[in-house]
Amino acid sequence: MSSTKPGAEPGQYLSFYVADEEYAIGILKVKEILEFSAITKVPGAPRSIRGVANVRGRVVPVVDLAVRFALPETVVTKRSCIVIVEVDVDGERNVMGVMADSVSQVVALGPDDIQPPPSFGTRVHIDYLLGMGRSGEKFLMILDIDRILTLDELLEVTKAQQTAPEGEPVASAAAPEEPRPRTEPSPGRVAREEDVLGGLVTSRPVRTGGGGSGRKARE
């Protein structure tokens, strides 16, 4: 990893859960959040790309971060959602979706809340991290979302979609949600996940540009 790689900057971040870990993406990278619905698998695409979704007529690749981080494939539940983000991959602007087990909060991180990524002790390779953000008594892993996929992988999805027969749809969340433990945030510091989900995730696209720390983002 280059020593000149920029770190996380103070600002607002959207946090979400993948495989019981809480990650964060800069809010300016987030275009909208969608409830998980059926997406189409693309034969020949990289395994970490779960499929493609139709977002208002635009074909968007959907990444399973769990697979990208060498973990088991994400299981879809009623709280699963897709975070639509804009990324800059090798100088090319692209839009992709990121699968999340659930959305947690919008939090403001100041300079004192951000630390460099650790060189060991996390599931995620350091190349995918911009830093660690302190939220209450816990830390969020701040993702360098621009590095999650390479331009070649994005092009591979496009090529596979154009040349392969129509893929199979990935089932939407029909199974009952499996309970899993949560670390409750400090009272008064951030909104609870249940409160945030009530305002962030709907069946329609949700804009996220104007939310404040620990406040529910609304249309």
Tokens of 51: 């499929």
Per-residue pLDDT tens digits for 86-104: 999 888 888 999 999 999 9
- Residue 36: C-alpha distances to residues 3, 60, 111 (Å): 37, 13, 34
From first to last of its 219 residues, what are the pLDDT tens digits of the chain? Answer: 444 457 889 999 999 999 999 999 999 999 999 999 889 998 888 899 999 999 988 889 999 999 999 999 999 999 999 999 999 988 888 899 999 999 999 999 999 999 998 876 677 888 899 999 999 889 999 999 999 888 788 777 777 666 545 555 554 443 434 444 444 433 333 334 444 444 444 444 444 444 444 444 333
Q: Which CATH architecture has domain 11-175?
A: Beta Barrel (2.40)
Angle, CA 134 vertex, CA 22 and CA 28 arms, to 5°: 70
Other beta carbons within 10 Å of 15: 22
Residue 45: predicted pLDDT = 87
Cβ contact 178:153 at 8 Å: no
Looking at residue 162, its pLDDT comes to 64
Give the global pTM.
0.73
Name residue, tokens 């971040």. Answer: 13
The domains of the chain are located at 11-175
Which pLDDT score is estimated for 165? 52
Contact call for residues 145 and 87 (beta carbons, < 8 A): yes
